[in-house]
């Protein structure tokens, strides 16, 4: 029988053969391709590579990565055990749900196996010219590096597998050290960068480039230089600290390597900040909102595109996250903690303890607040046809209105259209009083239509932030502030002027706001070792339009801070546990601390 390649996996047929007709046995399955056919057909080789990219997933899943950190709360989906520190080696199901499934041990290794299979077969593809073959090899070095980056970011050191094991082969092997894994990923990125073009043609948009490979290296080295991996004293008594960090070494050299890697991307001179010189705060906010719904921006380094007409393409961010008063699902709603961390427009900190702020919390804020978050009273798109009579202007309603009923002589409370008690859809929607606006295309009726908003894996602003962070840790504060303030200028925000610990704190908040919902925060709070400070109970806000003494309803709401979800930090959650079935299959594995 023939060995069959079906998408990312290699399938084999077993069992009794019920026919002696050899022609029947040799017929090609309609949904699979023979291995010989794949590696002799340029179109099938490209399809194989395309499917390895799919192993990276994308961030527009129904449950986004933001929900596993202090950015958002999923209103459906079993993720609460992650934010309460309750997953363990025999039960990681809450982690494996939706987006996080692309970081699970066995899922990632299946995709790594596909890249390894590619490298074992590509030399036999003699019909490809050298330039095409080199580009394909560069792409697969990039994909393999990204897959290992994802693994190492959540597990620490993992076995570095570079061959495609078959059925029945012995594949037990120990975990490589964290340091060995970081070197491997960096080397893979270097190999990819040497083979990939600076830019891809329009037909190849979304494929890896030299800049993407160098940017992934910069992110990897930045993470590796961070506090979590410098000296894992939090895991006192763990016998194998080399699996979860460095055992000594020159930490300053690691920061210099991270700085140089980020600078290498900057020195390509092909990326720039989007709309870097807005005239007003409103213009800055619009520029940011427009960038995240555009198909192309000067910041794009590595992007995944989608086609709205493909029902199975996996991206429907508007329906998944839009307000339920628009017949959307309100799936990953911003927490009060995130909303509160957007500064005032003068660069001072927002505080509910400040009477002026508490009276008008959504006035005079960082321009990015208005592009990223929908709140009570925020203007949004036109309501659907069956709702427009209730709200002709398209204004977000997450509040409650106290109204006097003269017939009953009682106060009645009317719930806003976008609350969980509203008249449109009361089975979903926000608990926190906020909805996500970032990535939401207002030109698309998300109840019925998908958008073609791309997922940006890596954009140029991250590289500038990475560079600034490395500079800060090397004591180069002026250089760091130069790039931080470029980012803030683009947001129409005043310069950061602090020094020392205060400067580092401002940097961390700037990164939190600028990269909100872009799959950075989960890793940032761990590598900075501030997770114990931020994994507190999730907060929200409840706006209420109170009844006045004259029995009219107030025109402005008052706000009550509420807790909407219990959360807790446990130190073992710096890393994921390796599932017990993986431990049982490979006796050479060592479990992470605390599991």
Report pLDDT for 168: 76
pLDDT tens profile 406-463:
999 999 999 999 999 999 998 899 999 999 999 999 999 999 999 999 999 999 999 9
Distance CA 390, CA 395 (A): 10
Report pLDDT for 369: 98
Per-residue b or e along 310-340, where b marks 16 or more CB atoms closer than 10 Å to that residue's CB: eeebbbbbbbbbbbbbbbbbbbbbbbbbbbb
Q: What is the DSSP string of 6-58?
A: ETTEEE---S------HHHHTPPPTT-EEHHHHTT-HHHHHHHHHHHHHTT--
pLDDT tens profile 61-113:
999 999 999 999 999 877 889 999 999 999 898 898 899 999 999 999 999 99
Confidence grade of residue 2 (pLDDT, cut at 50, 70, 90):
very low
170-178 mean pLDDT: 93
pLDDT tens profile 290-310:
999 999 999 999 999 998 876
pLDDT at 31 over 70: no
Which of 89-98, 250-259, 398-407, 581-590 is predicted with the least confidence, judged by mean pLDDT? 89-98
Residue 240 CB partners (closer than 8 Å, separation 6+): 590
Which of 164-178, 370-384, 387-401, 407-421 is predicted with the least confidence, judged by mean pLDDT? 164-178
Please state, as a whole number, how many other Cβ atoms lie within 10 Å of the Cβ of residue 206.
Answer: 17
516-534 mean pLDDT: 98
Report pLDDT for 315: 81
400 SS3 class: strand
* Whether 386 contacts 530, CB under 8 Å: no
pLDDT tens profile 310-355:
665 668 899 999 999 999 999 999 999 999 999 999 999 999 999 9
- Which fold is adopted by the domain 40-62+75-259+572-585? 1.25.40
Which of 329-333, 399-403, 447-451, 573-577 is predicted with the least confidence, judged by mean pLDDT? 447-451
Instruction: Report the mean per-residue pLDDT for the chain.
Output: 92
Distance CA 363, CA 457 (A): 32
Distance CA 116, CA 141 (A): 10
Query: Which residues are paired to 410 by β-bridges?
Result: 405
* Whether 375 contacts 395, CB under 8 Å: no
Sketch the domain layout of the chain as residue ranges. Answer: 1-38, 40-62+75-259+572-585
Please state, as a whole number, how many other Cβ atoms lie within 10 Å of the Cβ of residue 353.
Answer: 6
Report pLDDT for 15: 33
pLDDT tens profile 8-20:
333 322 233 333 4
């Amino acid at each position: 029988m023939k060995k069959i390649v079906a998408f990312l996996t290699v399938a084999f047929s077993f069992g009794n053969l019920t026919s002696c007709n050899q022609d029947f046995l040799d017929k090609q399955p309609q949904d699979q391709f023979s291995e010989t056919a794949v590696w002799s057909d340029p179109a099938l080789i490209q399809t194989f590579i395309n499917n390895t990219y799919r192993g990276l997933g994308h961030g527009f899943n129904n449950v986004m990565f933001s929900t596993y950190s202090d950015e958002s709360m999923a209103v459906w989906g079993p993720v609460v055990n992650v934010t309460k520190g309750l997953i363990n080696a025999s039960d990681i199901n809450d982690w494996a749900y939706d987006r996080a499934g692309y970081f699970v041990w066995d899922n990632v290794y299946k995709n790594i196996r596909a890249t390894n299979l590619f490298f074992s077969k590509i030399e036999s593809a003699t019909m490809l010219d050298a330039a095409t073959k080199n580009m394909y090899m560069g792409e697969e070095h990039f994909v393999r590096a990204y897959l290992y980056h994802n693994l190492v970011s959540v597990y620490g050191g993992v076995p570095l597998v570079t061959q495609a094991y078959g059925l029945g082969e012995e594949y037990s092997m120990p975990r490589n050290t964290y340091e060995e894994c970081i070197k491997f990923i960096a080397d893979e990125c270097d190999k990819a960068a040497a083979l990939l073009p600076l830019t891809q043609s329009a037909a190849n948009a979304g494929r890896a480039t030299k800049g993407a490979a160098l940017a992934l290296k910069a992110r990897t080295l930045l993470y590796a230089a961070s506090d979590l991996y410098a000296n894992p004293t939090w895991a006192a008594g763990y016998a194998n600290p080399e699996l979860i960090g460095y055992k000594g070494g020159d930490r300053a050299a690691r920061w210099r390597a991270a700085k140089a890697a980020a600078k290498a991307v900057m020195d390509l001179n092909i990326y720039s900040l989007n709309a870097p010189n807005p005239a007003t705060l409103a213009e800055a906010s619009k520029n940011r909102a427009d960038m995240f719904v555009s198909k192309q921006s000067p910041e794009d380094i590595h992007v995944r595109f989608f086609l709205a007409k493909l029902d199975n393409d996996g991206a429907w961010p508007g329906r998944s996250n839009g307000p339920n008063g628009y017949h959307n699902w309100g799936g990953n709603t911003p927490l009060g903690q995130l909303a509160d961390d957007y500064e005032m427009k003068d660069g001072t900190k927002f505080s509910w303890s400040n009477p002026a702020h508490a009276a008008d919390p959504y006035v005079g804020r960082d321009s990015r607040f208005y592009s990223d978050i929908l709140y009570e009273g925020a203007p949004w798109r036109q309501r659907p046809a069956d709702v427009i009579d209730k709200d002709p202007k398209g204004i977000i309603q997450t509040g409650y209105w106290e109204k006097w009923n003269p017939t009953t002589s009682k106060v009645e409370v009317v719930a806003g259209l976008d609350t969980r008690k509203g008249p449109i859809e009361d089975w979903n929607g926000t608990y926190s009083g906020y909805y996500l606006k970032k990535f939401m295309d207002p030109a698309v009726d998300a109840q019925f239509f998908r958008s073609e908003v791309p997922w940006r894996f890596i954009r140029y602003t991250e590289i500038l932030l990475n560079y600034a962070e490395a500079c800060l840790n090397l004591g180069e504060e002026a250089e760091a502030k130069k790039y931080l303030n470029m980012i803030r200028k683009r947001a129409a925000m005043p310069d950061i002027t602090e020094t020392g610990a205060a400067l580092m704190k401002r940097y961390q908040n700037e990164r939190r706001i600028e990269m909100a919902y872009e799959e950075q925060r989960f890793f940032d709070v761990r590598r900075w070792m501030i997770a114990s400070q931020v994994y507190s109970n999730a907060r929200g806000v409840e706006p209420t339009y109170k009844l006045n003494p004259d029995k009219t309803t107030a025109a402005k709401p008052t706000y009550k801070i509420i807790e909407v979800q219990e959360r807790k930090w446990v130190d073992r959650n710096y890393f994921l546990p390796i599932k017990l079935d993986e431990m049982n299959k490979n006796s050479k594995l060592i479990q992470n601390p605390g599991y």
